[in-house]
Structure 1
Amino acid sequence: MGSGGEKKQLFPVSMVSVRIIKANIITSKDSLSASDCYVTLHLPTASPEKFRTQTIKNSNKPVWNETFYFRVQTEIKNILQLEVCDADPVTKDDVQFVILFDLAKVRPGVTDLELFSIKPEKEERPPNYESLEVEFKLAETSGPLEQLISNGVLVARELSILDVKVKKEENEKLLKAKKNVVLTMRESYEGTQKTSEDVDSFRFHCIKSWGPVLKAKLQSVSREEKNDSHHLLILPLKLLPVGQQVKVALPMEEGGTLELYLKVIDCPQNLDVRLGYELCASEQDFLHKRKKMVAGALNKLFHLRRELLEHEVPVMGVMATGGGVRAMTALYGHLLGLQKLNLLDCVSYITTASGSTWTMTDLYRNIDWSQKSLEERIKVVRSQMLKSKYDIISIERLKYYHKELVERVERGHLPSFTALWALVQEAFLHEKPNYSTLSEQRQALNQGQNPLPIYTAINVKDKNVSTFDFREWVEFSPYEVGFQKYGANIRAEDFDSEFFMGKLVKRIPESRICYLEGIWTNIFCPNLLDGLYWASSPEEFWDRWVKDVTKSEEDEGYVTVYKPPSSGTGKLCEIFNDILTDRPLKGDSHNFLRRLDFDKGYLQQKEFSEWRDTVLDAFPSKLTPVEKSLCLIDIGYFINNSGQPLLKPERNVDILIALDYGINSGFQQTEMMAKYCEVQGIPFPKVDITEEDRKNPKECYVFSDEDNPKAPILLYFPLVNATFKEYKAPGVKRIPSEMNGGEVNLSDDSPYKTMHLTYTEEDFDKLLSLCTYNILCSKDHILQAFQCAIQKKQNIWLGGLNISSA
């Protein structure tokens, strides 16, 4: 299946048999006795169950000769995990070694015999020492074909829906007798469901080709009374007619039956997750409208002889870093500067991270904010900044937070510390709760009247894996929330609803914008390992980061065999790693990629490879689709840079204005971005900084790559107080009484440190004026970048016309 957009196709389902034959020289951790070995088998693309052989006691060469069968779809990546375990009656069983085997190696109609062995490193041992012998056979089944939907990386499989109903009066009788009905379908999203006073109807979503089975039983409602009754009904779904309600009798232990009403429905094949790397239709429509506005603005700026055609209009993106209230204030100043130069109407995208997101979520409450003077809005923000914040943790506020969080969980959202932090943050930033949502920001885009805002976060593992080993860029726009890496997106209003195999299975009301701000700006979400790396020298951090990025090249081998840590030292290392990598104050969101499978050739797809930068990418069983929830954190805990969405080739950004709000960071963020692009093969200009610039940075730097037309022109604005010390406006020197206004403290004892949440009126005004000035005095650089971008696009599309011929 090819990559790019979503494609549907029919494929046969196959059956693979796995015969666990024997093991050789299994060393027991117990020196007093031989091993008591068994083998577990787990193929998550075929079944949620983990199967196991019998235990062969007191043998270092156990023989099983047990066969297990799996229904598999060969068009997806099927990785079988085998674990050789030593049973221990007292402590947890020891895992001797683990095998990850790609079933793509098994040839149809051929018996494949594999000997999995851990190769000893220095000492000579027999070739079958500590090995497992397994036989594989693969054959197509005679059943119906399965329809797959894929973008070349992720694959959605056909679902079946089972509706089950118990008559209300019958359910009431059972409850009075302190009993209820327990329904289980292990192959389904829902798993197990039970009747209660409020629930007598159920829906199960299950993967059709897995051959799902419904199991039902009656059990005691009382927690004190143990009820180990077996399932009284076991019913494969394939025995039920599709689209017809069927009455089934569930036997009761005291005699009689309970009637269950079942109906199987074929799930519609249209997905609620958009699988594709292209821009969504809404964003494409926005760009069409926005380019008309940009063309009009450029016509006024340059007095063109004719208005630019759509394909001649440059796409400009503004990229802001994080930095708490400093970033929020500075972004207001930079946007005000662009507005004063009549350049704000030339911007198509604005991306933000951490504190700079507060500026955008505030502005987009007004549907035509960029068409009005920003100075009025800034007055309101200044007023809020100067107010006392002591009441945000008052008794009344705490009661409000508790009530809000309880109601949020009742609506179906996952409980998390991030939600509490979001409410505290909202109380700090706003006089009253902000009831707007991300999807409502579309109203500010429907005529192309404002730039498209994109908010950024990264998805990480909540424990056991560091940010440096696993992180995935996630972007939020008013249209969609998506993973660039997987080419998977959902509508903004569906974020944090429950999904299974690309289908929306439980709609949850859209969160207020403050809860998303809690994700984008969670200063409490790093683990200890993140802190240790950031606390190290820049060179140490840089070396570690680049090493992790470059080592992501996948191993094309079919088999991975490894020995888990099991010695005392290994266990201690595991415990220490847990402490370092755990995120106790994290946030959880429902995973909209849940249970999507991987295409058999996903590692070879350019779009996936282009954004791949974690060490787990070659192991689909460890990637995000297997997780129940997402762990989304502030992007600043890996790289304080929101520019990744603007590097998406489909957005074709021509000019990138990078606004860096780091204090004394010395070009670090733009150099990291350039290095990231170099390693990933993303077109980006080289960033060369002289020693003089590091000592005495200027307001604006321009970087371009004339040899690569796909690389954007980069205008980099560090947070510096250069000529503003002497000039209150471009070309207008300060008089002696005005010199204090140019003293903006950006040193180590700055009032603008990230953890400072309130400013004096003087400090606020100085930072705002500085950033506005830095844009104003860089007007020529920005205009020249537009001229170069227009000329480049005309050279490509119109065969060499220049700006004067327009």
Structure 2
Amino acid sequence: MADMAIPQQVACSSKSHPGKCDESSDIRVHFGISEEEKAAVKNRGEHVLKALKNLGLDVKKGPVVSVLVSGGGLRAAIACQGVLSELSHVGLLDTVTYLAGVSGSTWCMSSLYTENDGWKDLGKMENELRRRLQEDSWMVSVSLDGLCVAAERDDYSLTDFWSYSAVYYLTKELLGGHLSHAREQSEMGTVPYPIFASINHDLKSSGKEKNLNAWFEFTPDWAGYSTPGAYVSTALCGSKFEGGKLVQQEPERDFSYLRAVCGSPLADINVILKTIWDFFKKFIHGSSTQEEMLLTDPEGDKYFSEAMTLINQMIEQWGQISRDQQKQLIQDLLAKSLNQDLLKQSSVPSFLKFLWKTTNCLLRWTWGTMHNFLYKYDTEDKLLTEKKNMYLMDAGSTINSAYPLVLPPIRSTDIILSFDFSAGDPFKTIKATEKYCKACNIPFPLVDDAKLDQEAKAPSDLYIFEGENAPVVMHFPLFNKVNCGSKDVIEQRHETYATFRLTNYSDDEVCQLLEDSKANVRNNKDCIFMKISELAKPAS
């Protein structure tokens, strides 16, 4: 691809692979943020200075401000929009260098970075969000068409299914754009530099959740592990590499898939299973056109009848049988009707491939499959290189906010604006981050768990944490006694905006959630500006 803006290569840390730097290969060695990101941050710094001057602060250099937006499903996506709209309205958005999101908040981020002018009028984007949630609808045929295309890939997983089912259903939006296409506006510094966070499931499972190596980030330029410093061009993330060499280029995964990678909440397996099967039933019983194609196809007719009989049996019995019985039904389906040899036949319709691959992924509980760009790369960390595929998952399963990606040794942030949209304990993310930082020897303010536990049911709207050589952390619980007024109203809000709610929000509910999130910015804008002023470098 001669028109690509950056080289087709993997970047790996010199710490993980000392001494190797073959410029003629697909490998280059570096640790820390990329040259592209450095340029973007430098250009963003000029916009920050202009914004501060417009606010009456004439300084030599502004502090690095990172906005963290947490997970929380559609609740988080709507609240994220409210926060960004209000930051823009009060003139503080252009003081922000980084925007880092987890889970549901990445749904909002992806919408904004898809549109070239999305950041120019956040009020317009907010109105579009409201319109879409009320007027647009989830379409079975559109979802099924997308899934049949996805099933042609050899790295299909339940994340593909989640993308075209739950995420599309909740957001009423399928985004075909790509994160790499946001490179131009991010490099110009006209928007905050985006970081989409996920976790490598294998590293998390191996007990490394307290290790920076488990965090996997997507930016417009590179995707990969901030430490040990292993990256692939975002445009090539998902392509096949071996030994650091690009061996087969695949199309870049779009924003809809990225939304599902970052926002596939796997904490409650029973809820997730029920959600998947509810959608699976919709696909099976709403696919008459696909069934006709199969039944009129000589090869399809041969296999389809028995497959559908077993699938209908699975659907009818699924909620009444044990997990072991569920697995046995899936195994029967795979063995009797949908087998690997069948899939190799080019005449087998993609609908049948979709059925086989989805049931197979259900049996193995396979999520976030992507080709491992470090496969067989020569490095000491075999966990990163021994498997052909990596399995990425929602970072909310560890820390429901992307603190590790904006802290040293990766990035040096002066002020963190932490907007927490989590269900339950509004301080869980910051308490988990303090423990994480202690384990990794990263400077972070002290957190009084006991005091926060006392206030968890009825928190205030802002908590400030400061410490020596540590960033200032300004933490904003979404529902609090300031914007809600009482503990009872806070509890009602959590019930109304439950993370796994699959019924549509009314416009009044959307507006209330937007207002609650905006209030947390509006009521504390002076305090935010004061901290920025304190940490800015004077002009003289």
Structure 2 length as normaliser, TM-score? 0.74
Q: Deviations over 1:460-511 (max 9, x none)?
A: 2299857869971001001100112221111110101111222212111212
Match of 1:750 among 495, 498, 508: 495
1:679 aligns with 2:439: yes
Evaluate the alpha carbon distance shift between residue 507 and residue 452 of structure 1 in structure 2; reply closer, same or farther with a 3 A threshold. Answer: same
> In structure 2, what is the Cα distance between the partners aligned to 1:282 and 1:584?
37
Evaluate the alpha carbon distance shift between residue 776 and residue 462 of structure 1 in structure 2; reply closer, same or farther with a 3 A threshold. Answer: closer
Match of 1:597 among 378, 397, 400: 378
Match of 2:242 among 480, 483, 500: 500
> In structure 2, what is the Cα distance between the partners aligned to 1:432 and 1:681?
41
Tell me the equivalent position of 2:39: 285
1:756 counterpart letter in structure 2 = R
Deviation, 1:656, is 0.5
Superposed counterparts of 1:210-225, under 5 Å: none
SS state of the match for residue 319, structure 1?
strand
2:229 counterpart letter in structure 1 = G
> In structure 2, what is the Cα distance between the partners aligned to 1:435 and 1:272?
28
> In structure 1, what is the Cα distance between the partners aligned to 2:430 and 2:13?
35
Superposed counterparts of 1:623-662, under 5 Å: 623-662=383-422
1:645 counterpart letter in structure 2 = L
Deviation, 1:678, is 1.7
SS state of the match for residue 161, structure 2?
helix
Tell me the equivalent position of 1:768: 514
For the 8 Å contact 1:498–1:508, the answer to whether it is kept is yes
1:363 counterpart letter in structure 2 = L
Deviation, 1:366, is 2.2
1:380 aligns with 2:128: yes
2:16 counterpart letter in structure 1 = V
Tell me the equivalent position of 1:300: 54
> In structure 2, what is the Cα distance between the partners aligned to 1:686 and 1:274?
38
> In structure 2, what is the Cα distance between the partners aligned to 1:435 and 1:291?
30
Superposed counterparts of 1:109-148, under 5 Å: none
> In structure 1, what is the Cα distance between the partners aligned to 2:510 and 2:491?
13
> In structure 1, what is the Cα distance between the partners aligned to 2:159 and 2:142?
17
Evaluate the alpha carbon distance shift between residue 651 and residue 399 of structure 1 in structure 2; reply closer, same or farther with a 3 A threshold. Answer: closer
For the 8 Å contact 1:663–1:746, the answer to whether it is kept is no
Match of 1:400 among 136, 140, 145: 145
> In structure 2, what is the Cα distance between the partners aligned to 1:375 and 1:275?
42
Evaluate the alpha carbon distance shift between residue 766 and residue 527 of structure 1 in structure 2; reply closer, same or farther with a 3 A threshold. Answer: closer
For the 8 Å contact 2:484–2:490, the answer to whether it is kept is no
SS state of the match for residue 406, structure 2?
helix
For the 8 Å contact 1:350–1:451, the answer to whether it is kept is yes
Deviation, 1:721, is 3.2
Unaligned runs of 5+ in 1: 1-148, 159-267, 532-581, 600-619, 727-738, 795-802
Tell me the equivalent position of 1:333: 82
Superposed counterparts of 1:290-689, under 5 Å: 290-304=44-58, 308-309=59-60, 312-372=61-121, 374-387=122-135, 389=137, 391-392=138-139, 394=140, 396-397=141-142, 399-407=144-152, 409=153, 413-425=154-166, 427-428=168-169, 433-461=174-202, 472-524=214-266, 584-598=365-379, 620-621=381-382, 623-688=383-448
Deviation, 1:754, is 0.4
The structure that is strand-richer by fraction is: 1
Tell me the equivalent position of 2:526: 780
Evaluate the alpha carbon distance shift between residue 483 and residue 323 of structure 1 in structure 2; reply closer, same or farther with a 3 A threshold. Answer: same
Moved more, 356-365 or 456-465: 456-465
Deviation, 1:367, is 2.4
Superposed counterparts of 1:734-745, under 5 Å: 745=490
> In structure 1, what is the Cα distance between the partners aligned to 2:87 and 2:173?
29
> In structure 2, what is the Cα distance between the partners aligned to 1:430 and 1:775?
24
Tell me the equivalent position of 2:356: none
Cα RMSD between the aligned structures? 3.1
Moved more, 746-755 or 626-635: 746-755
Structure 1 length as normaliser, TM-score? 0.50
For the 8 Å contact 2:111–2:175, the answer to whether it is kept is no
SS state of the match for residue 400, structure 1?
helix
2:466 counterpart letter in structure 1 = S
For the 8 Å contact 1:331–1:359, the answer to whether it is kept is yes
For the 8 Å contact 1:273–1:592, the answer to whether it is kept is no
1:724 counterpart letter in structure 2 = N
1:594 counterpart letter in structure 2 = Y
Tell me the equivalent position of 2:15: 152
For the 8 Å contact 1:350–1:452, the answer to whether it is kept is yes
1:667 counterpart letter in structure 2 = F
1:316 counterpart letter in structure 2 = V
Evaluate the alpha carbon distance shift between residue 355 and residue 433 of structure 1 in structure 2; reply closer, same or farther with a 3 A threshold. Answer: closer
1:702 aligns with 2:464: yes
Deviation, 1:781, is 1.5
For the 8 Å contact 1:463–1:583, the answer to whether it is kept is no
> In structure 2, what is the Cα distance between the partners aligned to 1:641 and 1:656?
11
SS state of the match for residue 631, structure 1?
strand
Superposed counterparts of 1:33-52, under 5 Å: none
SS state of the match for residue 302, structure 1?
coil
> In structure 1, what is the Cα distance between the partners aligned to 2:205 and 2:529?
49
For the 8 Å contact 1:156–1:502, the answer to whether it is kept is no
